[in-house]
A = this chain, B = another copy of it.
Amino acid sequence: MSQQALDRIVAALSDIELIDPHSHINPHDPASHNLADILGYHYYTELAHSAGLPADRIEESDISPKELVSRLVPKLDSLDNTIQLSWLVEIARELLDVDIDRVTSDNWEQLYDAAEQKMSAPDWESEVLKRSKLKQVFLTNDFDDPLEGFDTDRYIPCLRTDDLVFHLHQPSVRERVANATGVEVTDAKSVWEALGKLFSHFKSKNAKACAISLPPDFVPTHVTDEDAEEAFMRLTDGRPSIEDRQVVSRFVFWSLAEMCAEHRLPFDLMIGVNRSVYPAGVHQGRDLYDSRCSLSQYAELFNFFPQVTFPVSVLAPTMNQELVSYAWIFPNVVTSGHWWYSNIPAHIEPDCRARLQAVPRTKQIGYYSDMYKLEFGLPKFAMYRRVLAKVLLEDFVIGHGWSEERAVDLGQTVLRSNVESIFFAD
């Protein structure tokens, strides 16, 4: 494999302006203010905790940002092999202009100060977007988010629906629905009415997707209105059984898919997460998965809603092989990014390779950042581009005798064009 050819392909892919189709950016405060905003990212806190730093050292209330960083830094040496640490070094070099190759007790304060200075510039947000070649960024919005006070063309709303599907038995969630829509959710009909209002609101604010994360044992099926009524009665009575909650979850989920059809929104499925498997972990560092999960659980859904596009992310790397096969056959199943525990080059490379070899090129969303702060877009997309370039070079330029231009064009399709054709088709 020629290093020069690889470098050329990486460079060509780096020229592509990006639309990030999934993030957790707060549009009212998108960029970091100091190094603690960077190191506070759950990947660092959970890895530092995993390497032995007690959770209360990290999550003590009222510690200053600088104090938090000072506590995390000594643990970074134990993590310096991880891809996440390489993102930190890349942020330092490419965004903060600090030329280091690791963060140590000796240099962290210098980095801290440089970060604070850079990040206090009034145009820092724009600067980060520009250096990252990010044109637009999708958000993850609570269903009752008013979606006001920010530029919805730069930060694209996305209706996140976990609470609606899995927590409607909580009075507080039903109250939030009532506040957001004026509808008291008490039965199938009122769910429909409420969802209709939420979708109309989101669509009016430029939302381009509906999204949800799902546990590995979730099996969506069609629940009739009649079957749902009894479960709703006990739900609002406050004494739903496990089965009632399951019926309601399935009913609301299915209704969301119907709304996606009606309002022509893709429905992002992020399949496979078990919440709070490690309850003593740090914030956002408690979830894991059970790889005994199959997309066959979703076959009924994919069949029932041919008019809805489902960009599917899987958490367990072993599930990528099913994802490739299901996207190969079902017109409405699209492969989507490399999620969370799958988001390391060791998994991205085989997953990306299989997708490029077997799924129509128009049905692949190459990557999304999943970031909480804008600064992570640059190193995460850079990591993906390097893997993508390697696969393009090995499998297409060398393997099939393609020109580099043709290979880069394929890269452009999965990196950028498909985001437009899939989410902005309407």
Residues of A participating in the B interface, judged by any CB pair closer than 8 Å = 46-47, 49-52, 78-84, 86, 101, 274, 277-281, 285-286, 288-292, 294-296, 299, 302-303, 306, 316-319, 321-322, 324-331, 341, 344-347, 350, 353-354, 356-363, 386, 395-396, 399-402, 410
Contacts and interface: CB of A to CB of B under 8 A. Distances in A.
A393 B326 CA distance: 33
A347 to B, nearest CB: 7
Contact of A280 (B277, B280, B306): B306
B290 A79 contact: no
A316 B321 contact: yes
Contact of A321 (B46, B286, B291): B291
Nearest to A43: B328
Most buried by B among A101, A316, A327, A400: A400
A405 to B, nearest CB: 13
A291 B303 CA distance: 19
Contacts of A51: 331, 360, 362-363
A292 B290 contact: no
A50 B81 contact: no
B317 A50 contact: no
A227 to B, nearest CB: 23
Given A81-B360, A289-B325, 11 more contacts: A51-B331, A51-B362, A51-B363, A52-B362, A278-B299, A288-B296, A288-B299, A291-B318, A291-B321, A316-B321, A350-B350
A399 B345 CA distance: 10
Contacts of A346: 350, 353-354, 357-358
Contact of A281 (B281, B329, B410): B329
Contacts of A356: 81
A358 to B, nearest CB: 5
Contacts of A331: 49-52
A232 to B, nearest CB: 31
A296 B317 contact: no
Contacts of A280: 303, 306
Contacts of A400: 86
Contact of A81 (B49, B290, B321, B361): B361
A401 B318 contact: no
B79 A345 contact: no
A168 to B, nearest CB: 25
Given A292-B294, A331-B51, A325 B341 contact: yes
Contacts of A47: 328, 360
A289 B319 CA distance: 12
Nearest to A327: B50
Given A288-B325, A296-B288, A50 B278 contact: no
B46 A329 contact: yes
A302 B358 CA distance: 33
B318 A321 contact: yes
A278 B363 CA distance: 17
A39 to B, nearest CB: 15
Contacts of A81: 356-357, 360-361, 396, 410
A321 B347 contact: yes
Nearest to A391: B346
Contacts of A410: 81
Nearest to A322: B291
A292 B292 CA distance: 7
